[in-house]
Amino acid sequence: LDRMKTLLVTGGAGFIGGNFVLGTLARGGWRIVNLDALTYAGNRDTLADVEGRDDYAFVHGDIGDAALVKRLFAEHAPDAIVNFAAESHVDRSIDGPAAFVQTNVVGTLNLLECALAYWRALPLERQDGFRFLHVSTDEVYGSLGPVGRFSEESPYQPNSPYSASKAASDHLVRAFHHTYGLPVLTTNCSNNYGPFQFPEKLIPLMIQKALAGEPLPVYGDGRNVRDWLYVGDHCAAIRRVLEIGRVGEVYNVGGDAERENIHVVKTICALLDERRPLADGRRRESLITYVKDRPGHDRRYAIDASKIKRDLGWRQTESFESGLARTVDWYLDHQDWVGRVLDGSYRMERLGV
């Protein structure tokens, strides 16, 4: 264990962070300390298989807690930090932006300040290897028309309180490199889907509702376009950037899989009709109901991921079709995990019940 490097992960009880922790521990080579506040989006069930391993430790706490984060740096002497912790749901940011500024901006600033103080005090040979990797989103670039794709040079034009708070955090990460020399890396990724995603997000929400034969609410005309990436491919990209990314650089990560929301929902319907036909013989597409559009709803996102492919040799392994089929099968096989989210029992541990 002594030869293992230590990684401080924040937000590792969430969707992407959880997949990252599980996948990275399965590969070996890193010891992981997972700092997570266990908000509604944090779920320790996701990590049940790794709890108790000696290469893994869970710490319940807030990335904005300076004393705690300082102590974690001192105690665990990490070789790198990967920051997943965030408020992440656009609809919630419209109802209450303040929590998004608190965690995504103030919290990230606290991580940067603690990391900087720690990094400055490291012996020179360890300073070189240290990395602060910030996980961000393509939503910071705003909305596209029918053509064009976001590159690392695209201007920041965030449109929702969520994307504005992520944009602010990206800028702080950049500034800590340019101002203080902190060895940072940033990834901006398109929409993720896959196992362990909280069922408020489009794909798991539609899977659950379609499974139950309930109406499937689709925003506006359903023709908003997102670029979808299977979560395991995103996690592999993050590991690649962490290990061989050039300090100070930004890497866009995407799936080359632009799909209209309505296409995504219809594909889920077809996959479920095949696997679990409704008892009354109805086709699930008939459950689709269009609802009033989300205010400020970005029309289209698309990512140009050629830089990470060219410079770091990253490639995705799942197509949208194979990844979505895998995801539907995962949800069918893990209705216990979903059930504990839907009935609230996944939070019992957090509440000490």
The secondary structure element, H or E, covering residue 216 is strand 216-219
Q: How far is the CB of 99 from ligand NAD (least distance, A)?
A: 8
Residue type, 223: R
Instruction: Select the residue interacting with ligand NAD from 38, 111, 242, 341 (CB under 6 A).
Output: 38
85 binds ligand NAD (CB under 6 A): yes
318 binds ligand NAD (CB under 6 A): no
Instruction: Select the residue interacting with ligand NAD from 7, 50, 63, 328 (CB under 6 A).
Output: 63
Strands 258-260 and 225-230: what pairing? antiparallel
Smaller CB separation from ligand NAD, 88 or 159: 88
Is 162 catalytic? The answer is: yes
Q: Which of 36, 79, 87, 139 is the catalytic position? A: 139
- Distance in angstroms (rounded) separating the CA atoms of residues 72 and 277: 50
Residue 171, Cβ density class (10 Å: 0-12 exposed, 13-18 middle, ≥19 buried): middle
Smaller CB separation from ligand NAD, 93 or 287: 93
13 binds ligand NAD (CB under 6 A): yes
10 binds ligand NAD (CB under 6 A): yes
Q: Which of 62, 138, 233, 298 is the catalytic position? A: 138
20 binds ligand NAD (CB under 6 A): no
| Torsion, CA 199, CA 205, CA 209, CA 210, rounded to 10 | -130
User: What burial letters (b/e) apply to 31-54, b meaning 16+ CB within 10 Å?
Assistant: bbbbbbbbbebbbbbbbeebeeee
- Distance in angstroms (rounded) separating the CA atoms of residues 138 and 262: 21
88 binds ligand NAD (CB under 6 A): yes
Torsion sign (Cα): 201, 107, 11, 245: positive
Instruction: Select the residue interacting with ligand NAD from 7, 9, 11, 301 (CB under 6 A).
Output: 11
Cβ atoms of 72 and 62 closer than 8 Å: no
Q: How many CB atoms lie within 10 A of CB 221?
A: 11
Residue showing tokens 């690649």: 240
Instruction: Select the residue interacting with ligand NAD from 15, 251, 320, 337 (CB under 6 A).
Output: 15
Residue 340, Cβ density class (10 Å: 0-12 exposed, 13-18 middle, ≥19 buried): middle
198 binds ligand NAD (CB under 6 A): yes
Smaller CB separation from ligand NAD, 250 or 287: 250
183 binds ligand NAD (CB under 6 A): no
Instruction: Select the residue interacting with ligand NAD from 31, 44, 149, 166 (CB under 6 A).
Output: 166
Q: Which of 56, 118, 141, 162 is the catalytic position? A: 162
Binding residues for ligand NAD, per CB under 6 A? 10-11, 13-17, 35-39, 41-42, 62-64, 84-88, 103, 107, 135-137, 166, 189, 191-192, 198
Catalytic residues: 138-139, 162
